[in-house]
Structure 1
Amino acid sequence: MNLQSFRESAWNGLWRQNTGLVQLLGLCPILAVSTSVVNAASLGLATVMVMAVSNLAVASLRNFIPYEIRIPVFILIIAALTTVVDLAFNAYFHDLYLVLGIFIPLIVTNCIVLARVEAYAAKNDPVSSTVDGIMMGLGLVCLLAVLGGLRELAGNGTLFAGIEMIVPGLSAISVFGPDYPGFLIGILPPGAFFALACLIALSNVIRTRAAKRKTTTQGPAAPATEQPASAA
């Protein structure tokens, strides 16, 4: 995998084909756990681990998997890796594991993971497939972190609530002070839809302006000049 391919995979995963902003995949966990930065980013990182290793496994075994049973085999691989991640969270981050609850095991059914395995890893080499899984996962992490930060700020006026579950001794940052009354809808399910809709609208505006700027910079295409007819 050369540098240009790496840049292309990174740009696709983080922005151009962002799973949440563009493809709109995996919205259930995106909307459910994004009540805080810590919860959202933690589930995103768990998904990154599953995506990276499952892409690597499928790309390495793709020539040995019969086409007719590829989907059940893909799901079996993803389920095994999700079980490993689930047990690791339970062992090392038990309090966070209790907060995330069922959404870690539900990575098995997350269409983001299966979509990248089927669309990319099953057709490409292990290295590029692993990079694709990591970058697509990091794009999801970025979206979840921003969405969780917006909802946490609006709902509680804090950032990084629950960070002590990962790094003991740290505490949440009170942005608006202890007297902030909170905006309840920010941490309720409707707040997730409103915040995600705003982020999608913002990304569309940025993409549209970038496309117009590119068109203006390149200028209109020069008209084709007629070639004189050759002498008989």
Structure 2
Amino acid sequence: MSKLNIILNGLINENPTFVLLLGMCPTLGTTASAMTGMSMGLATMCVLICSNCAVSSIKSIVPAKVRIPVYIVVIATFVTILQLVLKAYMPALDAALGIFIPLIVVNCILLGRAEAFASRNNVVDSILDGLGIGLGFSMALTMLGGLRELLGAGTVFGMMVYPDSFAPLVFVLAPGAFIVLGMMIALLNRIRKRC
């Protein structure tokens, strides 16, 4: 598989949100706005790239019996570093994402990519896989958050598109996340079948 195909695979064929339906907790919980969706996606992408690199680097010295706990410790280390950096330099973003930052540790996207790709490939390919999957996740969360924010608040990235008095509030609430995600998955499945 070429380097470009590794990246494109995470964006299109194995998009964690729209194709594999992984990581639904942060997908539904942090996408009330485009900014929080994008921020969560980028935070996850940083951890994914770093953990894929580390797992690929240590795969030959980790015994098979303890590989999953080791991968979780590696992921938890990078999540802790990310959380400390956010608390120190971006406290408003840390407050906006709240509990979802520590929950990156148990996000099945990260452990799945560590087990399915990073543990079987070289460091460069693992970094590119983390980049592709992370970009796909970030793109999905940003699109979902942008659409929910537009429909429910009349804004996109905080900029007013139409008055919020016309916006049905349901789209920025929990049920709106399910409705918009379902519509986006249906639309993308239809597009993929035609291509």
Aligned residue number for residue 25 of structure 1 = 22
Does 1:196 find its partner at 2:193?
Answer: no
Is 2:66 the partner of 1:69? yes
Within the candidate set 175, 192, 201, 2:161 is matched to 175
Matches within 5 A, 1:89-128: 89-128=86-125
**Is 1:52 paired with 2:49?**
yes
> Of residues 7, 11, 35 in structure 2, which corresponds to 1:10?
7
The Cα shift of 1:180 comes to 3.1
Larger gyration radius, structure 1 or structure 2 = 1
TM-score, normalised via structure 2 length: 0.98
Gaps of at least 5 residues in structure 2 are none
Higher helix share: 2
- CA shift, 1:182, in A, is 2.4
For residue 83 of structure 1, report the CA deviation from its aligned partner.
0.2
Partner of 1:78: 75
Look up the match of 1:156: 153
What's the TM-score, normalizing by structure 1?
0.82
RMSD of Structure 2 on Structure 1 (CA): 1.0
Q: Which residue of 2 aligns with 1:207?
A: 192
| Higher relative contact order (Cα pairs below 8 Å, separated by 6+ residues) | 2
Measured against aligned partners, the alpha-carbon deviations of 1:123-145 in whole angstroms (never above 9, x if no partner) come to 00000001001110100000000
Matched to 2:165, the amino acid is: Y
Deviations 1:189-216 (A, max 9, x none): 1100111111111111111111xxxxxx
Superposed displacement of residue 5, structure 1: 1.1
Q: 1:11 Cα deviation (Å)?
A: 1.6
Q: Which amino acid aligns with 1:76?
A: V
Q: Post-superposition shift, 1:8? A: 1.1
Residue among 178, 183, 186 paired with 2:171 = 186
Q: Which residue does 1:219 correspond to in 2?
A: none
| Cα deviation digits, residues 2-26 of structure 1 (max 9, x gap) | xx61121122100111000110001
Aligned residues: 195
1:93-137 deviation line (CA, Å, top 9, x unaligned): 101111110000100000000000000000000000010011101
* Letter of the structure 2 residue corresponding to residue 32 of structure 1: G
The runs of at least 4 aligned residues of structure 1 exceeding 4 Å deviation read: none
Q: Distance in 1 between matches of 2:58 and 2:169?
A: 48
Amino acid at match of 1:108: V
Distance (whole Å) between structure 1 residues aligned to residue 97 and residue 179 of structure 2: 22
Cα deviation, 1:43-101, whole Å, max 9, x if unaligned, reads 11000000000000000110000000000000000000000000111111101111110
Look up the equivalent residue of 1:135 and give its one-letter code: G
Percent identity over the alignment is 46
The runs of 5 or more residues in structure 1 that have no matched partner are: 161-171, 211-232
